[in-house]
Each structure stands twice: as structure tokens, then as C-alpha cells.
Amino acid sequence: MTTDERMQSLFRRESRSFLQYVREASPWASEDDRAMRDDVIAMADDELAGVGELAAFLQSRHIAVPHLGAFPIGFTSFNFVTIRSLVRPLLNDLRDGIARLTADADALGADERIALTPMIERKQKHLRVLEGLPCR
């Protein structure tokens, strides 16, 4: 896989992450859990800003921003659920996302690593927040 292809692949993956799916799925929250839902949505918005920064990086390198396609079909089992029931899957997905982005960064050149560092740091920050939230 070329550097351009790897960058396009990870752009697509980050654009269609589980956190982005949750953002669009509008999870249910009781009155007590609305702040938790708002925090998760704010994390998703922050992650989306990082995806936008990555798109700008791709464009600056004359790498085509790829078509995103649909979210993974497995995410559909998380429709119409409470925000609390999403905490553990979000944690697992963030841990996996950090590992995958770190592996991508390690396999790419210095400029690409620099471009990916803010995304990794965002995910690490979101992971710390999620680790403090109650699960089911």
C-alpha cells in the first residue's frame, strides 16, 4: 500500500469511526445522563474537527479525499440504545483506534506522523474522559 493509499484508508476509517456513528445515531439519555450524552457528542465533534484537519493535510499534498461510503454494518446494532450502554463499546473502539493510528503513524513518513499526532492525542484525551463515565 502506498503512502497516499494508507492516508486515504485511515481518513475513511476515522471518518466512519464508531464515535462518529454514535454522533449521528442520537443515543437516548435519561435526564440524569444528558450531560454524559452531551460530552460524548462533544467528543465526536472534536474528532470530526480532526478529520477536517486531516482532509486539509491530504489536499495540501494533492492526495484525493476519498469517498467515505457507509458506516460498518455492525454499528447498526447500536441504534435506539442508551448512552450508558455505549460507553464500553466506545472505550474498546477508541483503544483500537489509538493502536491503529499509532501503527499507521509508525509506518509513514515524518510529515504524515506530524499530521496524525493531533488525532492520536484527541483519541487519548477522549479515552480518559470515557474511562471516567459510568457503564451500564
Taking only the tens place, the pLDDT of each residue in 89-120 is: 999 999 999 999 999 999 999 999 999 999 99
Q: Are 82 and 17 in contact (CB under 8 A)?
A: no
Enumerate the domain spans of the chain. 3-64+77-131
**What is the mean predicted confidence (pLDDT) over 65-73?**
96
Taking only the tens place, the pLDDT of each residue in 6-23 is: 999 999 999 999 999 999
pLDDT score of 48 more than 70: yes
DSSP conformational letter for 68:
-
With a threshold of 0.85, does the pTM exceed it?
yes
- Residue 47's CB is within 10 A of a number of other CB atoms, namely 22
Pairwise pLDDT comparison (110 vs 135), residue with the higher score: 110
Please, which residues have CB within 8 angstroms of residue 1's CB and are 6 or more apart in sequence?
9
Q: Are 98 and 123 in contact (CB under 8 A)?
A: yes
Specify the length of the chain in residues: 136
Distance of CA 62 to the CA centre of its chain: 23
- Residue 101's CB is within 10 A of a number of other CB atoms, namely 20
**What is the mean predicted confidence (pLDDT) over 72-82?**
94
Q: Are 83 and 27 in contact (CB under 8 A)?
A: yes
Give the model's confidence band at 136: pLDDT under 50 very low, under 70 low, under 90 confident, else very high. Answer: low
